[in-house]
Structure 1
Amino acid sequence: MQTAEKHPPINVNDVFQLTNIGIPSNEVTWSRVSMLSDRWICVRHSKNNDPKTKASTSTLTVVNLKKDCEYTSYDGGMTDSVLMHPSEPIIALKAFMKFEVFNLDTKTLISKTTHHEQVLFWTWLNSDIIGIVTDMAVYHWSLWQEDSSPEKIFNRHSRLEFTEIVSYQADPTLKWLALTGMSPEEDRISGITQLYSVDEEITQCINSHAVCFALYKFCDNLYPSTTFCVGSRDSQDHGKVHVIELRPYHKGNFAPRSSYDHVQFRDDYDKYDFPISLQVSSKYGLLFMITKYSYLYICDMETAVCLSCTRIIMDIIFAVTLNTKTQSILGITRSGQVISVDLRKDNLLSNLRDTAKLSSQVTRLEKAILNS
């Protein structure tokens, strides 16, 4: 169980307000607004705030988070979904079953394809590959292979049949893939993740609401490991954070890790709260778990122990990414507010000392702070 801290371990700062640039507040939603990295926010919205405007006259607005939130709007035409490249000025457009990818600087078409199945979810897996999820299978589309079509990678598991797909992720080597879906039940939102091993062609289903992959060098290991982090709400007000080291294991490292800790959800706001995002700061050895109703759980990557639980803001958060510069997080709320949640490292250390929790983590954090 997490207790209130004497000193808040985070600062929350306003970065940008999407509604201030003509984006209707009712269109600040998960399906229209994406933030796949700390470089861009991309929005598909109606023109001139006209509620009668149809999707065929939509506008695409791209906000550059690295350039004082400068934004540019484009005619969206028949586009029904849009995603920005994680790091480059490249935009991917979807219109029904057609996909096109453009370089915004050169105004040139990079690649295009037409898929033969209805697409339920899609995302950039890395700088080169777009993942495409249909009702039956998962595909990868490699952009730099001329006239390439999406390649089928694996079939969806039957346990995800009646879920809404909310996430598809890969480890840096593309050897491990994770597809996550959610579905409403009588008294909660349930989540399930299909973890797929490309080398072994084996699927494992895990009860989870949010997952992520990260390269992390465990204490005393010689080499970084591929880790799979899982956040779930199991029943009532209890949940779990799990950190698992995946194969292949590096010779010279200690035995593979698999650590977990129980967390308590605070239902003073809504009993349907659940994790929506996990982000890893490899620099500080911290795992950030963020819930729909804006609770931030800060956990130790070495042990999965929950170090802190803090309410970020009185609003719903639906998009989160790691701020690579500050090693903290950026989030977008349902009201269109873009916020920066920055770690107050001294306060976190002070709270840990006061609770006599994880002296080893205090030592590691102190070293990381001194070296930052």
Structure 2
Amino acid sequence: MHLTEANVLISVVDVVNLTDHNVPHSEITWSRVSMTSDRWICVRHSKIDSTKTFRWIVLDQENDYKHISYSGSTVADSVLMHPSEPIIAFKAFKTFQVFNLDTKSLLCETSHGEKVLFWTWLNSDVIGIITETAICHWFVWKEETSPKKVLNNHRRLKSTQIVSYKADHAMRWLAITGLFEEGNGISGIILVHSVSENLTQCISAHAVCFAEYHFQDNPYPSNVFCVASRDTRSHGNIHVIELHPYRKGNLAPKNTCDRIHVDFLDSFGKYDFPTTIQVSSRYGVLFMITKYSVLYICDMETAAPLICSGISNDIIITATLNTKTQGILGISKDGMVIFVNLQKTKFVYKRKHAVKKNVQASLSEEKKILEVDKMTSDKCQSVHRKTNASQ
């Protein structure tokens, strides 16, 4: 698809720049700017004088992130907002504290005996903590609880930089992503763990997400696992896989075993790779964003690719689904907060056309297979008749 066509189907809107809130350009990094959902943007930035104290600010979705809703100072090395409530969590080395920002009260705290490599809110109740030896869960609202070990850290993750930890809505499936430099590019390892089966597998990929999606021919929604990767030949794949437990009456998704092929653009460099996957269940599409800000949109039903377009002139450091518009909320390295919105009427028409074309291609391919099967069957029967006649 030409970029001009993509520009008709999506709009990219610059909302606000973090530098407008006195965040220095040098402080706009992946480790300092976080979004646990589209509700908040949280930034831990400038050191105050020569002390070990840092400033932090929180921007709220309600005013399009244009005004600071909360701010303060902290000695913490990392700060994360609760996905939906005005609650903030601080990590200072091995200690965790959770505060209510409206009442300014400490809600709970805990500590961990090991160095923390990565941590995040997995949902509204659980903070996931990854150390050098273990993956732990802290059930924040349970009284007198400390982080509980869920499984051992895998040896293949120990030489990587952990960049993501996600869980499905029921906490039955977990996925941890680690990146590392290999040859002339960036490779990824994703540890996938089934809690109910207590089984773990590592796969080569760069980005992952879990989603509930209702496929058209099924009576119930499916729990799906979406994963994106790039190989050494600049080709990418996106897999959409249904996870158990399976709902009775549901058919397997048409693209369970299919791959959405993505060709990475050479002009964006050899280090480009998928960093974010998001699913819009309302519009039936999957968004994949690369480090160098290329957006790919694919159909969830058929795996048909719909759009490929650049959305920023700089690196995208973090992005999530905009739950209001079902588009994308992203932040670039230059501090720009952007909305990527679907031009709904035109996009729906494009999706229907692309899906119809993809289905026709699939039916044509099936017809060819059936014709080959019939020819093979006829040939076998002919040989069988000749064999019987000779006997």
Match of 1:110 in 2: 107
Q: Which amino acid aligns with 1:15?
A: V
Residue aligned with 1:133, SS: strand
Number of the residue aligned with 1:30: 30
Deviations along 1:288-316, one digit per CA (max 9) or x if unpaired, are: 00001110000111222322111111110
Cα distance, 1:3 vs. partner? 5.0
Matches within 5 A, 1:59-208: 59-69=55-65, 70-72=67-69, 74-208=71-205
SS of residue in 1 equivalent to 2:309: strand
**Structure 2 counterpart of 1:105, which letter?**
D
1:203-231 deviation digits (Å, cap 9, x = unpaired): 11111110000000111101111100001
Identical residues among aligned pairs (%):
55
CA contact (8 A) 1:300 1:361 kept: no
Q: Is the 8 A contact 1:97 1:116 kept in 2?
A: yes
2:282 partner letter: K
Q: Residues of 2 paired with 1:301 and 1:116: CA distance? A: 43
Whether 2:299 is the aligned partner of 1:300: answer yes
* 1:318 aligns to 2:314 (yes or no): no
In 1: Cα distance, 2:358 partner to 2:286 partner:
12
User: Is 1:83–1:93's contact at 8 Å kept on the other side of the alignment?
Assistant: yes
Deviation at 1:92, TM superposition (A): 0.2
**Higher RCO (Cα < 8 Å, 6 or more apart):** 1
CA contact (8 A) 1:7 1:351 kept: no
* Cα gap change, 1:15 to 1:199, in 2 (>3 Å): same
| 1:360–1:252 CA distance, 2 compared to 1 (3 A) | farther
The farther-off stretch of 85-94 and 259-268 is 259-268
Q: CA deviation at 1:85?
A: 0.4
Q: Which residue of 2 aligns with 1:242?
A: 239
1:365 matched residue in structure 2: none
Partner of 2:378: none
User: Aligned letter for 1:36?
Assistant: T
Greater mean alpha carbon deviation, residues 174-183 or residues 148-157? 148-157
Which residue type is aligned with residue 209 of structure 2? C
1:76 is paired with a residue whose SS is strand
Q: Which amino acid letter does the alignment assign opposite residue 12 of structure 1?
A: V
Partners of 2:86 and 2:357 lie apart in 1 by 42
2:379 corresponds in structure 1 to none
Task: Call closer, same or farther: CA 1:38–1:227 in 2, change over 3 Å.
Answer: same
**Are 1:137 and 1:152, in contact at CA under 8 Å, matched by a contact in 2?**
yes
Structure 1 residue 4: Cα displacement: 4.6
Q: Cα deviation per residue 1:163-221 (whole Å; 9 max; x = unaligned)?
A: 00000000000000000000011211001100000011101111111000000011110
Q: TM-score, normalised by structure 1?
A: 0.91
Paired with 1:319 and 1:4, the residues of 2 have a C-alpha distance of 22
Shift of 1:338: 0.3
* Contact 2:299 2:355 (C-alpha < 8 Å) held by counterparts: no
> How far apart, in 1, do the equivalents of 2:5 and 2:213 lie?
30
SS of the equivalent of 2:259 reads strand
Equivalent position of 1:347 in the other structure: 346
Aligned equivalents of 1:360 and 1:342: distance in 2?
Answer: 24
* C-alpha deviation, 1:159, in angstroms: 1.4
Report the more deviating stretch, 300-309 or 107-116: 300-309
TM-score, with normalisation over the residues of structure 2?
0.87
TM-superposed CA distance for 1:77, in Å, is 2.8
Which one has a bigger Cα radius of gyration?
2
Alpha-carbon contact 1:43-1:82 (below 8 Å) kept:
yes
Shift of residue 76 of structure 1?
2.7
Equivalent residue number for residue 388 of structure 2 = none
Structure 2: any 5+ residue segments left out of the alignment?
A: 360-391
Q: What residue ranges of structure 1 are gaps of 5+ in the alignment? A: 363-372
More helix by share: 2
How many residues get paired? 355
Aligned pair 1:252/2:238, yes or no? no
